[in-house]
Structure 1
Amino acid sequence: MAEEVYESDLINMVIGTHMSIAKGIVKTAENVVKMNADTMQIFSRNPRGSNYKDPTVKEAEEFQRIRREAGFGAILAHAPYTMNLASAKPEVYEFACTVIREDVTRMDRLGIENLVFHPGSHTGIGAEAGIQNIIAGLDQAITGKENITVLLETMSGKGTEIGWRFEELKAIRDGVSHPERIGICLDTCHVFAAGYDIVNNLDGVLEEFDKVLGLELLRAIHLNDSMMPFGSRKDRHAVIGGGEIGIEALLNVMRHPKLKDLPFYLETPLDDAGHKEEIARLRDLA
C-alpha cells in the first residue's frame, strides 16, 4: 500500500539548522537571521570534549533581543557526543552525569527551550542495566523546577546503542522522577536506519510512536537524509534528497498533520551557505 502524500499546509513552518557557536552566541543568532531560518540548534559545549564558555550577561541579553525581534521558534541545544549516561565505567559515567547536570542548568539559564542528548551505549552490560544508569543520571540533573525540557533522541541502533526502539525511550521516561521534563526528538535518518519505514509507512510509524510513547511527547524533528539503507543500523547523515530516504519522503514528514507544527532542525553535512540553500529549497518545495 502506497504511503499517503500530504498536501502542503506549512504557513507556520519552523525550520533551522545546526549552528556553530565558536564566535559566540550573538554572532550565531545574527547568522540565523541572515540564513532566513526560524530557529537553530547549537552544541551545549564542545561536542568532542568537555570545555565550554558561557556568554556574558550582556551577550545573553543581546542574544535574547535578537531572537525575540526575529521571532525564533524553540531553540534546541545538543549535549556533547562524548557523554555516555548508559556506561558502566565509573569515570565515563561520572563525566556524563556532570555534563548533563551542568548543561541542564546552563541552557535553562540561557532560556533555551530544549536540550537533546543521545541516550548512550551500554557497552555490554545489557540494555536494561544501561537504561537504569540513564535514569539515575537524569535524576541527578533534573529537579522538576526547570523550564527546559530534556529530549531523548531516537537512535539508529549501531553497536550497543540504547534508544533505537521506542520501547527503550519509554522505559527511560517512565523510570525518571520528573517525566514531565522529558520529551523526544525524532531523527529521520536514525529511525530509518533503525528499521522504522518512514518512506513507505509514515502513518504506521507515527501510530506506533503514539501507542508506545504518545505523540504529545514529540518536541523536535532532526530532518536528515540517510547515506545508509533502510534497517542498516548505521548512522550516516546525507543532504536532503541525496540519500536513501529521498526528498519526497522528507517533505511528507514536514507536511504530515501530526508533525507540521513541530520545529525541524537540519543536521546535514553542509556549511552555513549550503544550509541556507537547503532551507530555501525546502520552503519552496514544501
Structure 2
Amino acid sequence: MFYIGCHLSFSKGYEALGKEALAVGANTFQFFTRSPRGGKAKPLNLDDVEKLNVIIKENNFKHILAHAPYTLNACSDKDYTRTYAEEVMRDDIYRMSFIKGSLYNFHPGSHVGQGVEPAVEMIAGMLNRVLDPNQETIVLLETMAGKGSEVGRTFEEIQAIIERVEVKEKIGVCWDTCHIYDAGYDIVNDLDGVIQEFDRIVGLDKLHAIHINDSKNPFNSHKDRHEKIGQGSIGLETFVNIINHPKLRHLPFYLETPQDDDEGYAQEIALLRSNRK
C-alpha cells in the first residue's frame, strides 16, 4: 500500500480533515494540533474525532501524523519555554490517543548557544518524563537542515537523543527530504549510501515517516526552504527513487510543499502516484 498525504489545516475540525484528505486523493495526512506558533489547542471534541475514525476505517487510512508547533523547544535556555514544550507534548499525545495508529512529530529544538550535548540531555529528559510505555502514539524526532543552532542536523545527534530515551519502543524518526539534503546527505546521487548510513547509526526500524519536499536551496546549504516536487534542487527523479525504494516504500509520505490551495497538493499526490511502481 502506498500511503501518501499532505499537510492540512485543522481550522475546521477532525472530520473535515478526513474529508479534505479524500478530496485531494490522499490516504493519510498531517496536521497541527494547535497553531504552529503555539498557544492553546481547541477543546477536544470526541464526537468529531470519532467521525474522523470512521473515515479512517472506511477508507483504509493509516499513520495520521500530528506535528508539534514550531515554538516547541525542549532545549531552550529559558525554563518557561522548556516547561511549555513538555506541557504541549503531553497534551498532544493525549489528544492523539483517540486516533488509532497515530504518529506525533516534533523538531528537536535549538540549543541557542548552550551546545549540542546539554541540548540532547534536555530533549531526552523531557521525553523520559512524557513518554509512557502504554501509549499508542509513536513520537518522532524530525531530521533538521542545520540552520542556526538546530539540534538534529546529523543522524548522530538524532541517535544521541534516542539512546538516552528509556521507552525506546515509543520513539522514532521522521526524515524530511529537504532537511537532510540541505544538511549534507546526498539523497540525489547516493540514496543507497544515505539509507545505509542511517541504518548504521540509528537503525531503519526507527524510521516511521518521511516528509517529502523538494528544496529551494542547493545541497549542503544548511537552510530550510521547501519547494514543490520536481521544481527544486532535489528533482523528481530522486523522489521517484525514494517512494519506490525497497527499504522506504512501506513508509507513509507527507507533502509539506508550498501551495496556494489544496489543488496543488492534489496534483502532487497524483504525480507521485503515477510514478509509484
For residue 7 of structure 1, what is the aligned residue in structure 2? none
Picking from 28, 38, 41, the partner of 2:17 is 28
Corresponding residue SS for 2:58: helix
For residue 273 of structure 1, what is the aligned residue in structure 2? 263
Q: Counterpart amino acid of 1:150?
A: V
Picking from 255, 264, 276, the partner of 2:253 is 264
Structure 1 residues 166-206: Cα deviation after superposition (integer angstroms, max 9, x where no partner):
01111101101211110110000000000000000000000
Query: How many angstroms apart in 2 are the aligned matches of 1:91 and 1:109?
Result: 28
Corresponding residue SS for 1:175: coil
Picking from 179, 183, 196, the partner of 1:190 is 179
Asked if 1:13 corresponds to 2:13, the answer is no
What's the offset of the Cα at 1:281? 1.3
Query: How many angstroms apart in 2 are the aligned matches of 1:265 and 1:42?
Result: 10
Structure 1 residue runs of 4 or more that deviate by more than 6 Å after TM superposition? none
Picking from 185, 194, 200, the partner of 1:211 is 200
For residue 4 of structure 1, what is the aligned residue in structure 2? none
Query: How many angstroms apart in 1 are the aligned matches of 2:93 and 2:47?
Result: 21
Contact 1:16–1:264 (Cα < 8 Å) also in 2: yes
Query: How many angstroms apart in 1 are the aligned matches of 2:170 and 2:235?
Result: 33
Residue correspondence of structure 1 range 238-257 to structure 2 within 5 A: 238-257=227-246
Corresponding residue SS for 1:109: coil
Structure 1 residues 201-238: Cα deviation after superposition (integer angstroms, max 9, x where no partner):
00000000000011011100100000011000000000
Contact 1:166–1:209 (Cα < 8 Å) also in 2: yes
Identity of aligned residues (%): 47
Contact 2:140–2:174 (Cα < 8 Å) also in 1: yes
For residue 283 of structure 1, what is the aligned residue in structure 2? 273
Structure 1 residues 88-109: Cα deviation after superposition (integer angstroms, max 9, x where no partner):
2111111111111111122123
What's the offset of the Cα at 1:112? 5.3
For residue 172 of structure 1, what is the aligned residue in structure 2? 161
Q: Counterpart amino acid of 1:199?
A: V
The unaligned stretches of length 5 or more in structure 1 are 1-11
Query: How many angstroms apart in 1 are the aligned matches of 2:44 and 2:122?
Result: 31
Picking from 58, 71, 83, the partner of 1:69 is 58
Residue-pair matches, total: 275
Query: How many angstroms apart in 2 are the aligned matches of 1:242 and 1:131?
Result: 35
Query: How many angstroms apart in 1 are the aligned matches of 2:100 and 2:250?
Result: 21
What's the offset of the Cα at 1:57? 2.3
TM-score under structure 2 length normalisation: 0.97
Contact 2:107–2:142 (Cα < 8 Å) also in 1: yes
Asked if 1:227 corresponds to 2:216, the answer is yes
TM-score under structure 1 length normalisation: 0.94
Query: How many angstroms apart in 2 are the aligned matches of 1:57 and 1:75?
Result: 16
Contact 2:49–2:98 (Cα < 8 Å) also in 1: no
Query: How many angstroms apart in 2 are the aligned matches of 1:285 and 1:262?
Result: 16
